[in-house]
């Protein structure tokens, strides 16, 4: 079996999913190879001969090799301006390379001027015409070696930015190797399959669609019994660990599936019925120690939707010996300054925190379980401990009005010194959520595969008004603008930890 992670996703760390699946197959003596086609494909596209009609593109071509080397080195991250130029220049080269195919390719995204990943007809068109994909000259040639002796090929489709190229690759497999079994799974596929009334439009193209964790289905397809409760430790040496665009190896690891809180209104995890499935704390911690010793990472990326208090306590008591970051929840543990200092001693350099709103009434109506005064203490504690904060805010929910959005602005301004980075998002209503019907359903994104629906805001605070508030008022505040300018372009939170405490924060 060959497991493929297709373009495009941020090429700064390995895909954890296919490595975990390969480990499960190897533990049963089943041969399996993994391919980070995202990394390899983007590097291939960057190396293609390019012609330039503008100053920016000519500069990018000239600096291509240096930029790639610098992103894998340490000094670049000490200079945000140099870092920004390197990233934007490489992104420019990808955009130029995709133009002839009607694609806008980037380090973190893939779009097409005519085709949408939200329409099954467009995905099927991409499969019927793989030669129109900008990655086609690369994967059509490489398939000859990759698929030699392979009976099953699996694709891990997690993001919309991967969908069109995934289907182009599947289409080429079908044309060149029609007898191969094609399996499709991953986060985006899981979301599709868990929509109410799902009807499979890919029956003639894909043999098996898998929702959720893929270990048991893949083992069964390969004629092996389903796995027992023991989880197999992933082996990242199956991938080219030194090729990623980061100043060393970033180790991704998930201690749980789903979310332990799982109570927020309008949450896609809850809408899709994803259960919380944590590893035993002792097992996850043992994994991290062993993986860190084996791979010598510069950074540990904990992938959980929210790290549980129990696991945070375990990290503080028995540190992995590696700088780390991940999502956590505002709560009483982080309201304890001693605990925050213990987390910093354990290697915590940054926490991603989903506040969503600075208004207590909005938080209560969203069932966030967050006390705004406690959130203030958390931010002050993390600042005092030297832990960076990547704050996530959500605007335009049915629980919010413009007046309450201004209270979020006031909260951010009051705490701006404790907020290192910030993500501003417009609310999308999950189409399968229980709440959707209560707000009036209208078309949102055109396409039968859309995961979201439009809604009528009870107070008329529509998306146009929300965007206007963000652009004309929120982002123009000097304190907010200073925070937003800290965000690493394109790689955002995946590289942000390297800039905590000033550029090069991990190399103190």
pLDDT at position 508, please? 42
Confidence of residue 434 (pLDDT cuts 50, 70, 90): low
pTM: 0.95
Q: Is the pLDDT of residue 507 over 80?
A: no
Q: Which of 267-281, 298-312, 316-330, 419-433 has the lowest mean pLDDT?
A: 267-281
- The residues that bridge with 423 in the sheet, in sequence order, are 392
Q: Give the chain's count of helices (H) and strands (E).
A: 19, 18
pLDDT for 305 beyond 60: yes
> Residue 435 sits in a domain of what CATH number?
3.80.30.20
Residue 504's pLDDT is 46
User: Across the chain, what does the average pLDDT equal?
Assistant: 93
- Whether 209 and 258 share a structural domain: no
β-strands 388-395, 348-356 pairing: parallel
pLDDT at 503: 40
Confirm whether 228 is domain-assigned. Answer: no
Does residue 231 sit within a domain? no
What pLDDT digit, counting tens, does each position of 101-125 carry?
Answer: 999 999 999 999 999 999 999 999 9
End-to-end Cα distance, the chain: 43
- Per the domain annotation, does 241 fall within a domain? no
Question: Domain boundary at 205, 221, 237, which?
Answer: 221
Does residue 456 have a pLDDT over 60? yes
**Are 181 and 321 contained in the same domain?**
no
Provide mean pLDDT across the span 454-470.
Answer: 92
Higher-pLDDT residue of 340, 273:
340
The verdict on 165 and 254 lying in the same domain is no
Residues 103 and 217 in one domain: yes
**Same domain for 89 and 152?**
yes
Return the SS3 of 5. strand
> Which pLDDT belongs to residue 453?
81
d(CA 119, CA 140): 24
β-bridge pairing 256-257 and 452-455: unpaired
pLDDT at site 274: 79
Q: Say if CB 273 and CB 433 are below 8 A apart.
A: no
Answer yes or no: is pLDDT of 375 > 50.
yes
Looking at residue 49, its pLDDT comes to 84
Average pLDDT over residues 378-401: 97
Mean pLDDT along residues 345-360: 98
Do 20 and 69 lie in one domain? The reply is yes
Tell me the per-residue pLDDT of 68-77, one tens digit each, with 9 for 90 and over.
Answer: 999 999 899 9
Q: How many CA atoms does the CB half-sphere of 174 hold within 13 Å?
A: 20
Residue 395 clears pLDDT 60, i.e. is over it: yes
Examine the domain organization and report whether 129 and 86 are in the same domain.
yes
156-202 pLDDT, tens digit each: 999 999 999 999 999 999 999 999 999 999 999 999 999 888 999 99
Whether the Cβ atoms of residue 25 and residue 218 lie closer than 8 Å to each other? yes
Instruction: Note whether residue 176 is domain-resident.
Output: yes
Full domain range(s) for residue 445: 249-507
Distance CA 92, CA 401 (A): 38
- Tell me: do 182 and 272 sit in the same domain: no
Mean pLDDT of the region 59-84: 95
- Report the SS3 class of residue 215: helix
Answer yes or no: is pLDDT of 441 > 70.
no
User: What local confidence, expressed as pLDDT, does residue 228 receive?
Assistant: 59
If one counts the domains in the chain, the total is: 2
User: Quick one: CA dihedral 500, 249, 61, 57, positive or negative?
Assistant: negative
420 shares a domain with 290: yes
């Amino acid at each position: 079996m060959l497991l493929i992670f297709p373009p495009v996703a941020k090429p700064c760390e390995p895909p954890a999913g296919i490595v975990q699946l390969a480990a499960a197959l190897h533990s049963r003596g089943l041969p399996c190879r993994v391919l980070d086609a995202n990394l390899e494909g983007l590097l291939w596209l960057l190396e293609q001969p390019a012609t330039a009609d503008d100053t920016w593109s000519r500069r990018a071509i000239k600096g291509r090799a240096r930029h790639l080397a610098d992103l894998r080195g340490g000094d670049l991250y000490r200079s945000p301006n140099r870092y920004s130029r390197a990233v934007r220049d490489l992104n420019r080269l990808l955009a130029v390379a995709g133009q002839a195919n009607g694609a806008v390719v980037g380090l973190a995204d893939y779009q097409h001027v005519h085709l949408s990943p939200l329409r099954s007809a467009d995905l099927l068109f991409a499969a019927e015409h793989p030669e129109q994909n900008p990655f086609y000259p690369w994967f059509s040639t490489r398939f000859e070696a990759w698929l030699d002796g392979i009976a099953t090929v699996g694709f891990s489709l997690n993001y919309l930015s991967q969908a069109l190229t995934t289907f182009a690759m599947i289409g080429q497999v079908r044309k060149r190797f029609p007898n191969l079994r094609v399996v499709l799974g991953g986060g985006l596929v899981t979301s599709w399959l868990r929509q109410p009334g799902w009807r499979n439009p890919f029956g003639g193209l894909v043999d098996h669609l898998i929702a959720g964790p893929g270990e048991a289905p893949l083992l069964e397809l390969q004629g092996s019994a389903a796995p027992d409760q023991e989880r197999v430790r992933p082996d990242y040496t199956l991938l080219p660990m030194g090729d990623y665009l980061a100043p060393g190896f970033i180790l991704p690891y998930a201690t749980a599936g789903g979310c332990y809180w799982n109570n927020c209104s309008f949450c896609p995890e809850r809408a899709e019925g994803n259960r919380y499935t944590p590893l035993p704390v002792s097992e996850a911690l043992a994994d991290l120690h062993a993986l860190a010793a084996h791979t010598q990472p510069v950074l540990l990326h904990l992938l959980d939707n929210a790290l549980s208090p129990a696991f945070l306590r375990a990290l503080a008591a028995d540190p992995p010996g590696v700088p780390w970051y991940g999502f956590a929840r505002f709560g009483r543990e982080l309201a304890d300054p001693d605990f925050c200092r213990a987390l910093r001693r354990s290697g915590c350099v940054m926490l991603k925190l989903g506040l969503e709103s600075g208004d207590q009434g909005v938080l209560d109506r969203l069932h966030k379980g967050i006390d705004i005064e406690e959130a203030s203490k958390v931010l002050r504690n993390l600042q005092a401990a030297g832990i960076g904060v990547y704050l996530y805010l959500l605007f335009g929910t049915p629980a919010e009005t413009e007046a309450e959005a201004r209270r979020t602005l006031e909260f951010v301004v009051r705490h701006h010194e404790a907020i290192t980075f910030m993500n501003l998002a417009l609310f999308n209503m999950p189409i399968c959520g229980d709440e959707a019907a209560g707000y009036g359903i209208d078309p949102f994104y055109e396409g039968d595969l859309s995961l979201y629906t439009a809604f009528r805001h009870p107070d008329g605070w529509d998306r146009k008004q929300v965007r206007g508030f963000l652009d004309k008022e929120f982002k123009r505040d000097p304190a907010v603008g200073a925070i937003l300018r800290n965000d690493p372009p394109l790689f955002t939170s995946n590289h942000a930890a390297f800039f905590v405490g000033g550029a090069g924060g991990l190399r103190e």
